[in-house]
Amino acid sequence: MPDLHDLHTLSAAYALDALDDLERRAFERHLHDCESCSLEVREFSEATASLAARVAEPAPARLHSAVMSEIGRTRQLSSSSGRPARRFGQGRLLAGAAAVLLVIAGVAGLGGTAWREHRLAQEARTTAAGITRVLTDPDRIETTREVSGGGRATMVMADGGAVLSTRGVPDAPSGHEYQMWVMRDGTVQSGGILSVQDGDGSAFMTGLSTDVRLAVSVEPAGGSERPTTTPVVELGAS
């Protein structure tokens, strides 16, 4: 839930549809009484509409025929109404989707914690940019699988990069860690340690070809050179 006192600062997140369902409703109630917020939301919506224009793509011809034939059967609303017609999204949002994703720079090799932290600091910026690229690529491929032992893992892949994230995964047994593997043409390479906290973990990898499969297995702390247990999940783009 949002802090009610900072509803004012939510106008941008609202205009970007980046609020969850509860926050969105709270903010919309607030909008009724806040003239300056309404004005700001309107201005922001004009700005985001410009962002929309940038991703225009030729709509399929069959969309045109479908829409034109539907309007003949679709009753129009009259202008007089108390309820704004634009409020209609009924989709249910995933509850509590606010996962804390820990991004680690899981590139090649294993290395110790110190190495990883050093690497992390160095690459934090590039990593953020890389993740953004992958997650906003219109051609991204997304796969979700159940993890044996509980939880789910999702892989989003685009342009040689992959974001692997988990939700609801149990902690690795004491003295063990989750390790990622990159598999291609019968070869297996370590993808680094996947640190999972409260079920959530996330890693970003680059330099992948689209035909790789990713797997995660439970390994002794520090990692293994080859998987020593059956992977708890395996994800591929195809």
Choices 97-105, 182-190, 213-221, 223-231; region in contact with other proteins by CB under 8 A: 97-105
Helix, coil or strand: residue 117:
helix
Contact 193, 221 (CB under 8 A): no
Does position 49 interact with other proteins (CB under 8 A)? The reply is: yes
- Counting other chains too, the contacts that 46-52 makes at CB distance below 8 Å and 24 or more residues apart are 47/15, 48/15, 48/16
Near other proteins by CB under 8 A: residue from 22, 108, 121, 129: 129
> Going by DSSP bridges, is the β-strand pair 200-205/103-105 parallel, antiparallel, or unpaired?
parallel
Among 33, 35, 57, 185, binds other proteins (CB under 8 A): 57
CA dist 108 to 22, 100, 116, 180, 193, Å?
A: 41, 24, 11, 10, 10
Candidates 113, 132, 197, 209; binder of other proteins (CB under 8 A) is 132
Nearer to other proteins, 76 or 187 (CB): 76
- Provide the residue count of the chain: 238
Question: Applying CB under 8 A, does 16 fall inside the site for other proteins?
Answer: yes
Under the criterion CB under 8 A, does residue 224 sit at the interface with other proteins? no
C-alpha torsion sign, points 68, 72, 73, 78? positive
Nearer to other proteins among residue 48 and residue 122 (C-beta): 48
**Residues between 140 and 179 with contacts to other proteins, criterion CB under 8 A:** 140-144, 163
Residue 121 near other proteins by CB under 8 A: no
Closest approach of other proteins to the CB of residue 212, in Å: 14
Distance CA 61, CA 59 (A): 6
In the region spanning residues 187 to 216, those forming contacts with other proteins, defined by CB under 8 A, are 200, 202
The single-letter code of the amino acid at 90 is Q
Strand, coil or helix: what is 68?
Answer: helix
Q: Which of residues 70-89 bind other proteins (CB under 8 A)?
A: 70-72, 74-79, 81, 84-86, 88-89
